[in-house]
Amino acid sequence: MTQFISTRGQGGLKNFTDVLLTGLAPDGGLYVPQHFPQLDLKGMTGLSYADIAYRVTAPFIGDEIDPQTYQAILKDVYGKFTHSAVAPLVQVGPNAWVMELFHGPTIAFKDYALQLLGRLFDHVLEKQGKRVTIVGATSGDTGSAAIEACRSCRHIDIFILHPKGRTSDVQRRQMTSVIAPNVHNIALEGTFDDCQDMVKAMFNDQAFREKMNLSAVNSINWARIMAQIVYYVTSALALGAETGRAPSFSVPTGNFGNIYAAYCARRMGVPMSRLIIGSNRNDILTRFFDTGAMDAKGVEPSLSPSMDIQISSNFERYLFELADRDAGRIQQWMTQFKAAGRFDVSAEQIAQARHEFSAHRCSDEQTLLMMAECYRETGYLVDPHTAVGLYAGWQAMGTDTSSPLIALACAHPAKFPDAVQKATGIHPPLPAHLADLYERPEKFDILPNHLKTVQDFVQSRVKSS
Ligand SMILES: *Cc1c(COP(=O)(O)O)cnc(C)c1O
């Protein structure tokens, strides 16, 4: 069974359950597997998504969850997705495909990991006889995916803060139309930063944190990465990985979570050609690959808002590999980064990184052009995040069509209708299961940006504490 270590070197070996429930390691590091288990692809082509998910993820879970129970959870989770292939491929060019990751309840790729995470949390909490209170801040996407993941969980209360009046209608309604006794939407009178600060302040209040058993399902949780490895395996298999065909993947990236999962799949033995990072104008990763320096600057809004980040939290996991798993080096880089907003890797390290990834930046203008071109050439509508990935893919591959290119479609076009309409003139309709979203009743509480008020609200609403 695979065990886990922190990228900052403290705390020894952990098993899957610890890593699932704690998310961030107590030393501030991120959990990574002690070794990458090796996948035997033989006989896997044509298996169902849930069966492949079992083969890919079971080595990380070992006997922490009963195998039959785990298989049943996987079947149930992915059986609820709206496409029987779960993550289907659509051809958009000679040897180029889009992998649609929007067949979950919130029509964005975070469902693929969070739907499983909610079930795993509930299963483990049931066994341990515990409850947790999940609190999180959202500017849009993550909140609805987390709410959908927890709405049926018996051992979780979830509180999601969004900045009042500052999310899109679709995004707000996807959260506030979930009416369940354990789901609590808070419209905070403030900005997204105020929401994030509020969540941090609740976690920093140790007495409150312990009393409420606060927890998070943020993007650094290993279980989320683990669940994302699966669709790299299913798509590579679909295009012939079992016989050695090695696709390239192009991934629009913010926190480096999704592309890190691709890296894990490669380390587990899935044949891959290039791993291509697409960033928008918030291009800390692309600048790293250009210069060898990690150098923070402010966040600017873009047409692909789910990638509007200042730092890429999951990148630490890859830096750990780049540093030959030297946790002391990671500590040193992170200390420098915290103090000066910058650190540099060695010439050998950046050469290695460029060997393993290519990175390309895509402006808002190029994003719109890419959406328009894709629609003109194929009749296929893509959302702005997908367009960033497609653009990066074409940039990296040029005229080389010798190996398949798979670009990840991380959101349904109807999730970002204004950008799609601007680029193509088409207003993309919501899929059937969300078609009545605008008629559904909403439920949320408006609270002032005041810690004690929010804490009292949380305490009064949790089922038992
Ligand atoms: C979260 C998100 C991303 C970025 O994913 P990371 O794992 O942070 O790299 C890209 N596109 C969409 C639509 C998202 O919701």
Q: pLDDT 10s digit of each residue in the chain, 465 long? A: 899 999 999 999 999 999 999 888 989 999 999 999 999 999 999 999 999 999 999 999 999 999 999 999 999 999 999 999 999 999 999 999 999 999 999 999 999 999 999 999 999 999 999 999 999 998 777 899 999 999 999 999 999 999 999 888 888 999 999 999 999 999 999 988 899 889 989 988 999 999 999 988 888 999 999 999 999 999 999 999 999 999 999 999 989 999 999 999 999 999 999 999 999 999 999 999 999 999 988 889 999 988 988 888 899 999 999 999 999 999 999 999 999 999 999 999 999 999 999 999 999 999 999 999 999 999 999 999 999 999 999 999 999 999 999 999 999 999 999 999 999 999 999 999 999 999 999 999 999 999 999 999 999 999 764
- Closest atom of ligand 1 to CA, residue 411: 13
204 lies in some domain: no
Q: What's the one-letter identity of residue 378? A: T
306 lines ligand 1 (CB under 6 A): yes
380 lies in some domain: yes
Domain containing residue 311: CATH number: 3.40.50.1100
Q: Which residues contact 158 (CB under 8 A, 6 or more apart)?
A: 133, 134, 135, 136, 146, 147, 150, 151, 182, 183, 184
Please state, in angstroms and rounded to a whole number, the distance separating the CA atoms of residues 375 and 398.
Answer: 20
**Domain around 357:** 89-105+222-424
Which pairing describes strands 248-252 and 275-279: parallel, antiparallel, or unpaired?
A: parallel
Reading the block at residue 157, the tokens are: 């209360």
**393 neighbors 276 (Cβ within 8 angstroms):** yes
pLDDT for the residue numbered 311: 84
Q: Is 301 left (phi over 0), alpha (psi -120 to 50) or beta?
A: beta
Closest CA to 293 of 309, 321, 315, 274: 315
Rg (CA), the chain: 21
Please state, in angstroms and rounded to a whole number, the distance separating the CA atoms of residues 389 and 251.
Answer: 5
d(CA 305, ligand 1 centre) in Å: 9
d(CA 144, ligand 1 centre) in Å: 13
Residue pLDDT, tens place only, 394-410:
999 999 999 999 999 99
pLDDT for the residue numbered 139: 79
121 lies in some domain: no
Please state, in angstroms and rounded to a whole number, the distance separating the CA atoms of residues 151 and 124.
Answer: 16
Q: Which residues contact 382 (CB under 8 A, 6 or more apart)?
A: 98, 370, 371, 374, 375, 390, 409, 413, 420
Reading the block at residue 52, the tokens are: 């492949």
195 lies in some domain: no
d(CA 385, ligand 1 centre) in Å: 8
Total tally of structural domains belonging to the chain: 1
d(CA 106, ligand 1 centre) in Å: 13
Please state, in angstroms and rounded to a whole number, the distance separating the CA atoms of residues 122 and 53.
Answer: 19
263 lies in some domain: yes
Residue pLDDT, tens place only, 128-178:
999 999 999 987 778 999 999 999 999 999 999 999 998 888 889 999 999
d(CA 110, ligand 1 centre) in Å: 7
CB count within 10 Å of CB 70 equals 20
**55 neighbors 23 (Cβ within 8 angstroms):** no
Q: Which residues contact 341 (CB under 8 A, 6 or more apart)?
A: 295, 296
312 lies in some domain: yes
433 lies in some domain: no
253 lines ligand 1 (CB under 6 A): yes
Starting from the edge strand earliest in sequence, which strands make up the sheet with 405-409, in order? 89-93, 96-100, 405-409, 248-252, 275-279, 358-361
141 lines ligand 1 (CB under 6 A): yes
The one catalytic residue among 14, 80, 110, 422? 110
Q: Which residues contact 332 (CB under 8 A, 6 or more apart)?
A: 343
309 lies in some domain: yes
Where do we find the tokens 């590091």? 29
Phi, psi of 375 (to 5 degrees): -65, -40
Active site residue 110: yes
**214 neighbors 133 (Cβ within 8 angstroms):** yes
385 lines ligand 1 (CB under 6 A): yes
228 lines ligand 1 (CB under 6 A): no
Please state, in angstroms and rounded to a whole number, the distance separating the CA atoms of residues 408 and 87.
Answer: 10
**1 neighbors 62 (Cβ within 8 angstroms):** yes
155 lines ligand 1 (CB under 6 A): no
CB count within 10 Å of CB 460 equals 7
